[in-house]
Chain A
């Protein structure tokens, strides 16, 4: 498992190094980032509010597919009324939804970085997805696009221990009953633009031993289920709770004290760490 993780991480960073993409629209238009949960779904790309501005190809490539209108044959809806997919070298695809296309059959073929693919539709969110076809996963575009200047660390709002539907704040868990508690984390990252974002990586340590690591570098669907490939401990069935908080898994808290540490890091290397002592009398 560890080897797989190392290999996946290596491939990911090679991809990051090899490709230097450009923003499809000015980054100020960014509204939601990778893995953010909205209406029960984790975003597998980036969402922009671009008004009616132009949308540029993020890198050189070739037009692979484009569709517009309400639905595909068979009635499957076209996301946000349009979809453009470009094929880039090394089996990378970029997919843009929610744009008024300027492409037609005559323009099909090579597409160069910065080419206008179309224009955002007012009131319709523009979404960008980056897909690694070889690995079969969606890559976090923020890790590939030019970085924004950011010196602020992620925010750790709360850590709770959940048992039987009741939550105990970690800083008040001085004398809890022995049992299996779900660790629920409320954390976010503050970007230089007004966008919802999660910390890029989250680490949970119990008594100094890493028990959970979640890196939002990629998302994959396997046999109809969503998988976070960089997750160390895949025990939680759902990474996000119904409220949109992070579920770090269920752990036994036995008699004695347990040092619970959380470490958060954003896309730009800013970090924050915090620890709590949970005591079972």
Chain B
């Protein structure tokens, strides 16, 4: 007589426990840490009356602490860092000095090595100056200078003509734009321009058009966001309406070709950030409900939840971690993540934050009233 085989629950449970124990021991996944924000110093712009450019160091407050020695090169050399926050612009050091602090009269473009300021009169000269206000060169009247990193550009008043200058203020090239620019990105040698007509122009360091590409695939064509990798190997774009698309181009021997694309659920009609992670094969972009993450080859997608319209990306001081400063209206938030999409922590920034710069793990933020240095850490 055959005996019925009865299930053996105890054995099964023991087996599952053993598997769970092995998984727990072999593949540990640490819990996400919160970001700690440790203020180092803060300064009010109103501690001295400044109506014109000043060349004086502001007094240190008693709360000032010395910057750690392991910061990036700019800090180690104590090179002044350029900023603009509301109606104020100038230069500050990692120790909280303001060698230059001035009030914007009409317009200003500030980088670490130079700045251009001008009054609101159309005939106001655009003088390229060193941080110590030494004149370098004069840029064309009526143009609107701007820096992308340390690269100096200027556009015509209607923003339809683009010029690129070297650090001496000598014009390297001039490029007439086929349409209004709605997205812009700059690599080491290439400049990428996304247009209202839905096209992408890529211009090389000689001012020659290297690529004109229409991502297409949507009922209405427009470029909303654009990124180019440092060496120009990848270009990522957020484009179109109905549907919206993320398109990644990769450079091969025969030029650029589409390496991945995806349709998005979004219908943005405003500028939207896109960035390619330096040192990691991922692109981050404004998506519904946060910052989308996609592998350049399209093999992975993820989301870092946040309220976001635009964002800035910074590699953290420790390898493999990135900071995102996301902006939505007057709100800003700092996110820390490890690619592809592991959120390490987040922290809200003060409302109306108008300037953020992260060097290593040190963040400088400025509101219309003042500036602070904050050390970012993990709890």
Binding site for B on A (CB under 8 A): 38-41, 43-45, 62-67, 71-80, 83, 85, 87, 93, 95, 97, 105, 108, 123, 127, 129, 131, 133, 136, 220-226
- When A and B form their complex, what is the total count of cross-chain residue pairs whose Cβ atoms lie within 8 Å? 132
* Cβ contacts under 8 Å, B183 to chain A: 72-74
A99 to B156, CA, bound (A): 18
> Is residue B351 within 8 Å, beta carbon to beta carbon, of the partner chain?
no
Chain B residues, CB < 8 A from A43:
158
Give the shortest distance, in Å, between A161 (CB) and chain B (any CB). Answer: 29
Cβ–Cβ < 8 Å partners of A76 in chain B: 146, 148, 153, 155, 159, 181, 184
Q: Are A75 and B148 in contact (CB under 8 A)?
A: yes
Show 13 residue pairs from A and B whose CB-CB distance is below 8 angstroms, ordered by the A residue. A38-B142, A39-B122, A39-B157, A40-B140, A64-B222, A65-B182, A72-B183, A73-B184, A74-B186, A93-B197, A97-B158, A224-B175, A224-B207
Let me know if A131 and B179 touch, CB within 8 A.
Answer: yes
Asked if B176 and A224 make an inter-chain contact with CB atoms under 8 angstroms apart, the answer reads yes
Interchain CA distance A257-B72 in the complex, whole Å? 75
Q: Are B178 and A80 in contact (CB under 8 A)?
A: no
Nearest-Cβ distance from residue B189 to partner chain A, whole angstroms: 16
Output the least CB separation between B162 and chain A (Å).
8
* Chain A residues near B310 (CB-CB < 8 A): 73
Most buried by B among A95, A123, A221: A221
Q: Which of chain B's residues have a CB closer than 8 A to the CB of A226?
A: 176
> Which chain B residues border A62 with CB–CB below 8 Å?
220
Cβ contacts under 8 Å, A40 to chain B: 140, 142, 156
Known: A64-B196, A123-B120. A74 touches B160 (CB 8 A): no
Given A38-B142, A71-B146, A95-B196, the answer on whether A127 and B120 have CB atoms closer than 8 Å is no
Q: In chain B, residues 244-298, which have Cβ atoms closer than 8 Å to a Cβ of chain A?
A: 267, 269-274
**Is B366 an interface position by the 8 A CB rule?**
no
Whether B142 and A41, one on each chain, are in contact in the complex, defined by CB atoms closer than 8 angstroms, is yes
Report A-chain residues with C-beta under 8 Å of the C-beta of B148: 74-76
Q: How far is the CB of B333 from chain A (nearest CB, A)?
A: 16
CB pair A133 B269 closer than 8 Å: no
Q: What count of chain B residues pass the 8 Å CB interface test?
A: 53
Bound state CA distance, A72 and B274, in angstroms? 12
> Which of A72, A133, A223 contacts B181 (CB under 8 A)?
A72
Closest beta carbon of chain B to A245's beta carbon, Å: 19
B270 and A75 form a contact (CB under 8 A): no
Query: Chain B 305-320 against A: per-residue CB contact (8 Å), 1 yes, 0 no?
Result: 0000010000000000
Nearest-neighbour CB distance to chain A for B149, whole angstroms, equals 9
Chain A residues with CB under 8 A of B274 = 73
Least CB distance from B122 to A in Å reads 7
Secondary structure of the A contact surface, majority rule: strand
Question: Which positions in B face A, CB cutoff 8 Å?
Answer: 120, 122, 140-144, 146-148, 153, 155-161, 174-186, 196-198, 203, 207-209, 220-222, 224-226, 241, 267, 269-274, 310
Q: A65-B196, A85-B196 are in contact. List 7 more A-B contacts (CB 8 A).
A: A39-B122, A41-B142, A67-B271, A80-B157, A97-B158, A97-B159, A224-B208
Q: Do the beta carbons of A65 and B142 come within 8 Å of each other? A: no
In Å, the complex CA distance between A105 and B267 comes to: 10
3 cross-chain pairs, A with B, having the tightest CB-CB distances, nearest first: A76-B184, A74-B184, A39-B142
Q: Which single residue of chain B is at the shortest CB-CB distance from A40? A: B140
Judge whether B180 and A73 touch: CB under 8 Å.
no
Tell me the complex Cα distance, A71–B273, Å: 12
In whole angstroms, what is the CA distance A225 to B273 when docked? 28
User: Which B residues are CB-close (under 8 A) to A65?
Assistant: 182, 196, 222, 224, 269-270
Report yes or no: A136 in contact with B157, Cβ–Cβ below 8 A: no
State how many angstroms separate the Cβ of A47 from the closest Cβ of chain B: 9
**Residues of A close to B185: CB separation below 8 A:** 74
Q: Are B142 and A221 in contact (CB under 8 A)?
A: no
Chain A minimum-CB-distance residue to B122? A39
Kindly name the residue among A44, A73, A87, A221 whose own CB sees the greatest number of chain B CB atoms within 10 A. Answer: A73
Task: Assess whether B196 is in contact with A220, with CB atoms less than 8 Å apart.
Answer: no
- Chain A: CB-nearest residue to B224: A65
Q: Tell me if B158 and A105 are in contact (CB < 8 A).
A: no
Query: Which chain B positions have C-beta within 8 A of A38?
Result: 142
Distance of A220 Cα from B186 Cα, bound (Å): 24
Given contacts A76-B146, A93-B196, A133-B197, contact A83 B180 (CB under 8 A): yes
* Given the contacts A41-B161, A72-B183, A77-B155, A225 and B176 also touching, CB distance less than 8 Å: yes
- Complex CA gap A40/B221 in Å reads 31
Is A131 a contact partner of B197 (Cβ separation < 8 A)? yes
Q: Give the chain A neighbours of B175 by CB distance below 8 A.
A: 224
Which A residues are in CB contact (< 8 Å) with B143?
A: 39
**Interface residue from B186, B209, B225 paired with A224 (Cβ < 8 Å):** B209
Once the chains are docked, how many angstroms separate the CA of A97 from the CA of B345? Answer: 39
- Complex CA gap A207/B317 in Å reads 75
Known: A79-B180, A131-B197, A133-B221. A73 touches B271 (CB 8 A): yes
With A39-B141, A105-B269: A44-B160 Cβ-Cβ less than 8 Å: yes
Q: Measured between alpha carbons, how far is A224 from B161 in the docked complex, in Å?
A: 9
Measured CB to CB, the nearest residue on chain B to A69 is B271
Looking at the assembled complex, report how far the CB atom of A273 sits from the nearest CB atom of chain B, in whole angstroms: 33
Residues of A within 8 A of B177 (CB): 221
Interchain CB contact under 8 A, A64 and B176: no
Q: How far is the CA of A271 from the CA of B213 in the complex (A)?
A: 43
Distance from A220 Cβ to chain B, minimum over Cβ atoms (Å): 7
Chain B residue numbers with a CB within 8 Å of A39 are: 122, 140-143, 156-157
Which residues of chain A are within 8 angstroms of B122 by Cβ–Cβ distance?
39
Q: Are B220 and A64 in contact (CB under 8 A)?
A: yes
Give every chain A residue within 8 A of B144 (Cβ-Cβ).
77
Closest A residue to B151 by beta carbon equals A75
- Given A62-B220, A65-B269, A133-B198, A41 and B182 touching (CB < 8 A)? no
A136:B269 contact, CB within 8 angstroms: no
B221: chain A residues within 8 A (beta carbon): 133
Closest CB in chain A relative to B28 CB, distance in Å: 38
Q: Which residues of A contact B179 (CB under 8 A)?
A: 131, 133, 136
Docked Cα-Cα span, A87 to B182, in Å, equals 14
